[in-house]
Amino acid sequence: MSADVRIGPDDIRRRKGGVPIVCLTAYTYPVARLLDDHVDLLLVGDSVAMVLHGHKTTLGASLEMMIAHGQAVMRGSAKACVVVDMPAGSYETSAAQALASARQVVDETGCQAVKLEGGTDIAEQIAAIVAAGIPVMGHIGLQPQSVEKDGGYKIKGRTEENVTALFRDAEAVEKAGAFSVVIEGTVETVAAELTRRLSIPTIGIGASADCDGQILVIDDMVGLTVDRVPKFVKEYAALRGVVSDAAARYAAEVRSRAFPGPDHVFPATSGKDKA
C-alpha cells in the first residue's frame, strides 16, 4: 500500500491472522501527527473523558466531545484508519438512535469507522449502522461504559457462565457485520480462543498476545497518566517526570528573572518582528 493512501476498515479486516495490527488512542492534533506514521489504527476513545477531561469514568464523554476530538485527530492523521468511539447514551436505545449518532460522527469528523461497546445486546444497532455503509468496530469483554452496572472494572472470563457469554457476544458482533472487535480485560486463554474462533481481527487490551492486534491508551503508554495506571499497561516512556521537571525549571527561571532572556524578547533595533 502506498504511503499516501489511508488505511481503511477493509484493510484492517484483511489483516486477520497476519502481521499484528498496531493501534493506539489519540485525542489531539499533535499526538495524531506524531503517531500516524507508526500505527495502523488510531482510536478516538471515549477514554478521553478521563484522560483529558478528568472524569472518573468514560461515562463523562458526550457525542459533541467525541466529535470535537475526532475532528482534531483527523486533521493530524493522513495514513491511519481513524475510529471514533460512540459514547454511552448515543446508541443503546434503538437501531435508529445508533444510526443517527453514527452518521453524525462520520459526517462531522470524516473518520473511517465508529466503535460500539456490547455484544448480543447491541447486535441490531451494529447491523443497522453497517447496512447504512458505516464500518463498525466492536468491543467486548470488560466494557468501561458498563462499569457502574458491573460494580467496577472486573476481568472477564473467570467463570464458565461468563466465558459462554463472551463467545455469544463475539459471534453476535461478527454476525452483525463488524470489521474487527476489541477484547478488553479478558482472561488470556479465553481471548486467545476467541481470536481463533472469529473470522474478524481481534484487538487486545489486557487480553492476549495471540490477538490479531493490540491497543493502549496513548497517555498510559508514554507514562503521562497521572492517576492509576492499569496492570496491563507497559510504559514505553516516563513523561510524567519530564513534564514535571520542565515545569519546575521554568518556574525557577521565571522567579529568578532568568526567563525570558535575550533570545526570547524583541530588541528595538532588530528587524525580526515575527513571533
Q: Which of 184, 188, 235, 253 is catalytic?
A: 184
How many distinct helices (H) and strands (E) make up the chain?
A: 11, 8
CB distance 126 to 95 below 8 Å: no
Residue keyed to cell 522567579: 255
Closest CA to 207 of 197, 217, 193: 193
Provide the grid cell at 225. Answer: 497518566
Q: Is 184 a catalytic residue?
A: yes
Distance CA 227, CA 135 (A): 33
Residues in the chain: 275
Q: For the chain, how long is the longest CA-to-CA vector? A: 78
Distance CA 147, CA 143 (A): 7
3-state secondary structure of 216: strand
3-state secondary structure of 178: coil
Active site residues: 184
